[in-house]
C-alpha cells in the first residue's frame, strides 16, 4: 500500500525524552518522498508531537523543489536542528534539474534557515 509513513532517521536527546524524526511516505513509484519533520516529546501516553513541519510547509514559496534528506543533531530546548537539505538548481517544472545537498542549521519553531554550514559534494557527505 502506497502512502505508508516510514521513519527515515531519528535522533533522541541525551535524556531520551525528546526526539526528532525525519518521516517519509512511500511513493507510487516505489520510492520514498519527504513527508514531514517532527519534534516530539515523551509523555506518559507515548510520543507527542510538539512541532511538525510538513513537506508543503517546508517547500513554502520556494520556486526550487527541496526536501530534508538527513538529520545530524538537534537541540530540543531552543527547537533548532542541523539538517541536510536537497534543493534543485532550477525552478520546479524545468526540463533538467540537478539537486545540490547541503547541511544547514534550521529553526524548527519558525521553519527557517539560520545558517548554511556546508555544501556537499554528494548526498553522503558528512558534516
Q: What is the pLDDT of residue 2?
A: 59
Per-residue model confidence (pLDDT) at position 1: 45
Structural domain that includes position 100: 5-119
Please check whether residue 124 lies inside any domain of the structure: no
Spatial contact of 67 and 84, defined as CB atoms under 8 Å apart: no
Domain annotation covers residue 58: yes
**Cβ atoms of 13 and 38 closer than 8 Å:** no
Reported as a single tens digit per residue, the pLDDT across 2-27 is 579 999 999 999 999 999 999 999 98
Q: How far apart are CA 72 and CA 87, in angstroms?
A: 17
Residues 42-53 as b or e (16 or more Cβ within 10 Å = b): eeeeeeeeeeeb
Asked if residue 82 belongs to a domain, the reply is yes
In a domain, 126, yes or no: no
- Total structural domains within the chain: 1
Does residue 125 form part of some domain? Answer: no
Residue 100 lies in a domain: yes
- 68 in a domain, yes or no? yes
Q: Which residues of the chain have pLDDT under 70?
A: 1-2
User: What does the H/E/C string look like for the chain?
Assistant: CCCCEEEEEEEECCCCCEEEEEEEEECCCCCEEEEEEEEEEEECCEEEEEEEEEHHHHHCCCCCCEEEEEEEEEECCCCEEEEEEEEECCCCCCCCCCEEEEEEEEECCCCEEEEEEEECCCCCCCC
CB distance 12 to 19 below 8 Å: yes
Examine residue 31 and state whether it is found in any structural domain, yes or no: yes
Amino acid at each position: 500500500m502506497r502512502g505508508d509513513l516510514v521513519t527515515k532517521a531519528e535522533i533522541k536527546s541525551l535524556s531520551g525524552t525528546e526526539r526528532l524524526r525525519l518521516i517519509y511516505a512511500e511513493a507510487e513509484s516505489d520510492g520514498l518522498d519527504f513527508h514531514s519533520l517532527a519534534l516530539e516529546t515523551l509523555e506518559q501516553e507515548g510520543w507527542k508531537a510538539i512541532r511538525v513541519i510538513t513537506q508543503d510547509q517546508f517547500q513554502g514559496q520556494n520556486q526550487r523543489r527541496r526536501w530534508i534528506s538527513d538529520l545530524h543533531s538537534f537541540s530540543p530546548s531552543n527547537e533548532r536542528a542541523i539538517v541536510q537539505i536537497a534543493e534543485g538548481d532550477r525552478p520546479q517544472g524545468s526540463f533538467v534539474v540537478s539537486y545540490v545537498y547541503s547541511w544547514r542549521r534550521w529553526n524548527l519553531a519558525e521553519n527557517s534557515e539560520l545558517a548554511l554550514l556546508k555544501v556537499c559534494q554528494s548526498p553522503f557527505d558528512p558534516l
